[in-house]
Amino acid sequence: MIICKSQKEMTKIREACQIVARLLKELRPLVRPGVTTKELDRFAEDFIQRAGARPAFKGYRGYPATLCTSVNEAVVHGIPNDYKLREGDIVGVDAGAIVDSYYGDAAVTFPVGTIVPEVERLLQVTRESLELGIQQVRVGNRVSDIGHRIQKYVQSFGYSVVRDFVGHGIGQALHEDPQVPNFGEPGRGPRLREGMVLAIEPMVNMKGPEVRILSDRWTAVTADGSYSAHFEHTVACTSNGPEVLTRLDHGA
């Protein structure tokens, strides 16, 4: 069942989303050679708490941290640890916050120092695929129009989209209906309606789409060891088109 949100609920979700947006902005300059992913996690937990919110991932199905930090061939759900980031790495940073029981969720893949142009392009294409997916969030479109657009764009560069993880509805739970795959035929699945809120999160591998899970039972890595990027926004479907709730609101 897909829950459409009232204006009042939307205000809470927007608040949670803006905390995540501000957090990711503050993390960006901290992502540099020598910093550990655990240090980033520590900063994130403090930041969310100081903002009067709660981390959304910590404790979710036993997940142990505030952030997911997924380095290089890690796709998603990397657990922050003592690994020191190195020049040329990329790190996917995924963050969620809860305000008065409403959730916000977003992710960015950051370069660490200077990265090679091939990987730079992977980040750019993944970011652009998210923007194209977001543009499909209009009343009357169907859920699969989002993933179709993302997949078509990503594959035109010879990259692949991950199938084993998908985006999701979000509201008073981190994961609500509907599932939002980053692939598929257009014109399938539920129709988009005013008040729906979706977390759209393309995961793009440089080579094949297959992933495997490490023995920590969380970290998903590419099966072929190729680099992977992940960007995510929480997006509301409004009568005026998509509202990207995790886009930093400079007026606020």
Q: Which residues bind Co ion (CB under 5 A)?
A: 105, 199
Minimum distance between the CB of residue 32 and Co ion, rounded to whole angstroms? 26
Minimum distance between the CB of residue 210 and Co ion, rounded to whole angstroms? 21
In the chain, the N- to C-terminal Cα span, in Å, equals 33
Neighbours of 242 (CB within 10 A): 21
Closest to Co ion by CB, 60 or 194: 60
Containing H/E element for 39? helix 37-50
Rg of the chain's alpha carbons, rounded to an integer?
17
Neighbours of 179 (CB within 10 A): 16
* Cβ neighbours for 152, distance < 8 A, ≥ 6 positions apart: none
Query: Which residue reads 């990329």 in tokens?
Result: 90
Minimum distance between the CB of residue 3 and ligand MF3, rounded to whole angstroms? 16
Minimum distance between the CB of residue 63 and Co ion, rounded to whole angstroms? 12
Residue type, position 44, single letter: A
45 binds ligand MF3 (CB under 6 A): no
Site string for ligand MF3, 70-109 (x = CB under 6 A): -------x----------------x----------x-x--
Alpha-carbon distance 137 to 130, whole Å?
A: 11
Which stretch in 7-15, 45-53, 57-65, 242-250 sits in contact with ligand MF3 by CB under 6 A?
Answer: 57-65
Pick from 13, 68, 123, 125: which binds ligand MF3 (CB under 6 A)? 68
Contact call for residues 245 and 102 (beta carbons, < 8 A): no
Contact call for residues 146 and 153 (beta carbons, < 8 A): no
Which residue in the shown chain puts its C-beta closest to ligand MF3? 63
Alpha-carbon distance 64 to 66, whole Å?
A: 7
Closest to Co ion by CB, 182 or 205: 182
Minimum distance between the CB of residue 120 and Co ion, rounded to whole angstroms? 24
Closest to Co ion by CB, 105 or 145: 105
Q: Which residues bind ligand MF3 (CB under 6 A)?
A: 57, 60, 63, 68, 77, 94, 105, 107, 168, 174, 199, 201, 232
